[in-house]
Amino acid sequence: MVATLADTSLIVVADRQDDGTLLGHTTWDRGGFMSARSGDDHPDDGVDWTAAATGEGTPETGRYPVLDVAQAWDVQSMLALLCPGVRHRYSADGERRTALMAHPDGSWARAEARGQEPPVVYQGGPRRLWDLLDGVRDHWLRHGELPVRGAWVRVTPDGRTTLMRGRWKLQVKADQGAGIS
C-alpha cells in the first residue's frame, strides 16, 4: 500500500499483515494532496486567525528567522505529527516577514521581523506553538535532518500510527488527525 499521512508531505509504503496491521516506512520523497477547500471565505478547521494576527502578550525575541512553514515540508510534517491540527500562514511585505500559527484549541503564535533582525514572537493559548517550532528546528540543526523521513511506520487496525527512527519514536492516535489518508 502507498498512502500519505494526513496534513503532512510524508509518503508511507507499507504491507498489510495478517492481523490487519500495516508495517512499512516513510519514503525520502515528498508528496501530498491539495486541500479540498481553502481561501479567505473558508473556515480553517476552527482556528482563530484573528487571535494569531492581533493577539497581545509578552514579546520575546525569537532564536531563528521567520519561516514560511508551509514551504518547509519536513518542518511542517514534523509539526503536524507533534501537534495535529496546527495551521500556518506567512506573508512578506518588502523587508517585513510575518508568520502566524493557530490551532483549534485556541493556541496561536505570531513572529514578525524586518530584514535580518531576529523576530519578535507573541504566543497565546494553552500551547506555545512557536516554542514547538523552535524545538523542531533545534532537532534539525543538531542532527542535520528530521526523523520523519525514512522512519519505520506501524499502523494498527484501530488507526494508531507509530513512527520510529533510531531513538526517536512518536505515536499518533487516529483521533488526533494524523492518520493514513
For residue 116, the domain's CATH number is 3.30.160
- Same structural domain for residues 69 and 142? yes
- Say if residue 53 is in the same domain as residue 135: yes
pTM of the model as a whole: 0.82
pLDDT computed for residue 40 by the predictor: 56
Burial status of residue 61 (CB atoms within 10 A of its CB: 0-12, 13-18, 19 or more): exposed
- Number of folded domains that form the chain: 2
Do 134 and 160 reside in the same domain of the chain?
A: no
C-alpha cell at 136: 523542531
pLDDT per position as a tens digit, 56-82: 888 999 999 999 999 998 999 999 999
Side chain identity at residue 68, one-letter code: D
Q: What is the amino acid identity at position 46? A: G
CA 151 to chain CA centroid, nearest Å: 16
Q: Are residues 133 and 86 in the same domain?
A: yes
Residues 99 and 50 in one domain: yes
| Domain extent at residue 171 | 1-28+149-181
Using pLDDT thresholds of 50, 70 and 90, give the confidence band for residue 179: very low
Mean pLDDT calculated for residue range 160-179: 77
Predicted local confidence at residue 178, as pLDDT: 45
Residues 130 and 155 in one domain: no
Residue 75 placed within a domain: yes
The answer on 139 and 111 residing in a single domain is: yes
Chain segment 101-142, per-residue pLDDT in tens: 999 999 999 999 998 899 999 999 999 999 999 999 999 999
Cell numbers given for 67: 519561516
